[in-house]
């Protein structure tokens, strides 16, 4: 019986992909894999050809359901990893699509989570520094106030030198996040 009759030509791609579908009787050892990859089993018929045929079937069948499932999972992935500013989120979507399509991932854009957090912390620190500067200014004005003056002069000095920084400080403190 001629086993090589009607056996399609086996390519290197068939061998590499067919290795994944090989039955368990073909052990995972370097010698067996080397023999497989060199084409030692190409004309054996039977089991190796079934592995090659399975690879060809898997590679050529329509993937409509899998593609739809992948698209749905990609949408949920975007929701799961969403972070950073709008520009960074747009980059995330582009990067995921490029990766899934086997294309080069574009350069990172926008501010990610750490950059956004650092930017937010810097803004809070700037605000706190401004409050501290204003509080020092108010303390200086109170320290310079001459309490021995008559009441009219004291009221004028207070209204002109102490009340404005006090009002600014109260406003900023009321607007600050706790």
Task: Tell me the two tokens of residue 126.
Answer: 């700037």
Ranges of H-type helices in 29-112 = 30-37, 46-60, 64-81, 86-100
The residue ranges of the chain whose pLDDT is under 50 are 1
Sorted by where each begins, the domain ranges of the chain are: 12-60, 64-100, 113-175
pTM above 0.85, yes or no: no
Q: What local confidence, expressed as pLDDT, does residue 53 receive?
A: 62
With residues binned 3-state (H G I as helix, E B as strand, rest as coil), the percentages for the chain, rounded to 5, are 70, 0, 30
CB burial readout 134-159, b (16+ within 10 A) else e: beebbeebeeeeeeeeeeeeeeebbe
Q: What local confidence, expressed as pLDDT, does residue 1 receive?
A: 46
Q: Are 18 and 55 in contact (CB under 8 A)?
A: yes
Task: Tell me the two tokens of residue 38.
Answer: 């060199």
Q: What local confidence, expressed as pLDDT, does residue 175 receive?
A: 84
Give the Cα separation of 163 and 132 in Å (integer): 17
């Amino acid at each position: 019986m001629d086993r090589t009759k009607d056996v399609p030509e086996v390519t290197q791609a068939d061998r590499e992909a067919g290795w994944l579908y090989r039955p368990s009787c073909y052990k995972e050892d370097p010698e067996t894999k080397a023999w497989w990859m060199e084409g030692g089993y190409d004309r054996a018929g039977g089991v190796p050809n079934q592995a090659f045929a399975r690879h060809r079937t898997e590679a050529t069948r329509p993937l409509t359901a899998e593609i739809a499932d992948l698209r749905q999972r990609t949408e949920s992935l975007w929701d799961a990893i969403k972070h950073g500013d709008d520009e960074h989120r747009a980059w995330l979507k582009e990067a995921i699509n490029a990766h899934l399509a086997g294309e080069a991932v574009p350069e990172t854009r926008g501010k990610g989570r750490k950059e956004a957090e650092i930017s937010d912390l810097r803004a809070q620190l700037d605000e706190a520094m401004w409050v501290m500067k204003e509080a020092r200014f108010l303390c200086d004005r109170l320290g310079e106030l001459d309490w021995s003056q008559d009441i009219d002069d004291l009221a004028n000095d207070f209204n002109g030198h102490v009340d404005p920084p006090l009002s600014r400080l109260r406003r900023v403190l009321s607007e600050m996040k706790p």
